[in-house]
A and B are shown apart, each in its own frame.
Chain A
Amino acid sequence: AQSVTQLDSQVPVFEEAPVELRCNYSSSVSVYLFWYVQYPNQGLQLLLKYLSGSTLVKGINGFEAEFNKSQTSFHLRKPSVHISDTAEYFCAVSNQGYQKVTFGTGTKLQVIP
């Protein structure tokens, strides 16, 4: 079985400040990891994914994430946030067979002007 924990349900941050959204996972097998973003009343959009290779993954809108196998983490970072980054962010994990994807409970990022 696999699971995902997003430690913060809400993260307020001032505009142009850096942000880190935390994600930890558990799995008995090798995994693929994903971050998705959801704007209000919309579907989810993929920000970035880790499949293999470099542990630092760059995504859209200036976001990046680092895969840390020893700490089973995949934290999302952005060096300078904008008002338009206000949204809910979901971390997700799948096994490498990709039968199912398990999503975290989400972190709401609120960017304060």
Chain B
Amino acid sequence: DGGITQSPKYLFRKEGQNVTLSCEQNLNHDAMYWYRQDPGQGLRLIYYSQIVNDFQKGDIAEGYSVSREKKESFPLTVTSAQKNPTAFYLCASRGQDSYEQYFGPGTRLTVT
């Protein structure tokens, strides 16, 4: 079954720790995206990558980092520099010449 997996579903961390969220896709899609979702604010773009070994900052990249070493993987690291990291994080991918983004099930990160 093709799709996008994000793990874990729930993640808890102490303040000051870096944490990496996993995103894997087997759809053979070139483009991948990371969004942050907060209640009442919709989805905000953190980073996106249109090809392996290349990525661009989105609207709220501060305090986050990504890598794209493989086509199927786009991990997101939430660093201690992110002031308010508690949120629901969504990963998505898109095929070339397609206008539809496919979303993973999300990771809910809680930092205390």
Q: Are B100 and A42 in contact, with the CB atoms below 8 A?
A: no
Q: Tell me how far the C-beta of A100 lies from the nearest C-beta in chain B, rounded to whole angstroms.
A: 6
Instruction: Give the distance in Å from the alpha carbon of A93 to the alpha carbon of B111 in the complex.
Output: 31
Q: Which B residues are CB-close (under 8 A) to A94?
A: 99
Q: Given A43-B106, A100-B45, are A51 and B40 also a contact pair (CB < 8 Å)? A: no
Q: Which A residues are CB-close (under 8 A) to B90?
A: 43-44
Q: Tell me how far the C-beta of A96 lies from the nearest C-beta in chain B, rounded to whole angstroms.
A: 9
**What band does the interface of chain B fall in when counting residues whose beta carbon is under 8 Å from A?**
20 to 34
Q: Given A43-B90, A98-B99, are A105 and B104 also a contact pair (CB < 8 Å)? A: no
Q: Are A46 and B100 in contact, with the CB atoms below 8 A?
A: yes
Whether B58 sits at the interface, judged by CB under 8 Å, is: yes
Q: Are A103 and B99 in contact, with the CB atoms below 8 A?
A: no
Q: Which A residues are CB-close (under 8 A) to B104?
A: 43
Query: Which residue of A44, A51, A100 contacts B58 across the interface (Cβ within 8 Å)?
Result: A100
Q: Are A105 and B108 in contact, with the CB atoms below 8 A?
A: no
Interface string of A50-71 (1 = CB under 8 A from B): 0100000000000000000000
Q: Are B99 and A44 in contact, with the CB atoms below 8 A?
A: no
Q: Tell me how far the C-beta of B59 lies from the nearest C-beta in chain A, rounded to whole angstroms.
A: 8
Q: Are A105 and B42 in contact, with the CB atoms below 8 A?
A: yes
Q: Are B99 and A105 in contact, with the CB atoms below 8 A?
A: no
Q: Which B residues are CB-close (under 8 A) to A9?
A: 40
Query: Which residue of B4, B42, B106 contacts A103 across the interface (Cβ within 8 Å)?
Result: B42
Q: Tell me how far the C-beta of B99 lies from the nearest C-beta in chain A, rounded to whole angstroms.
A: 6
Q: Are A106 and B105 in contact, with the CB atoms below 8 A?
A: no
Q: Which B residues are CB-close (under 8 A) to A104?
A: 42
Q: Are B100 and A49 in contact, with the CB atoms below 8 A?
A: yes
Q: Tell me how far the C-beta of A4 lies from the nearest C-beta in chain B, rounded to whole angstroms.
A: 8
Residue of B nearest to A104 (CB): B42
Interface string of B27-38 (1 = CB under 8 A from A): 000000001000
Q: Are B42 and A90 in contact, with the CB atoms below 8 A?
A: yes
Q: Tell me how far the C-beta of B58 lies from the nearest C-beta in chain A, rounded to whole angstroms.
A: 7
Question: What are the 7 closest A-B residue pairs judged by CB atoms, nearest first?
Answer: A43-B103, A105-B42, A103-B43, A44-B103, A103-B42, A46-B100, A43-B105
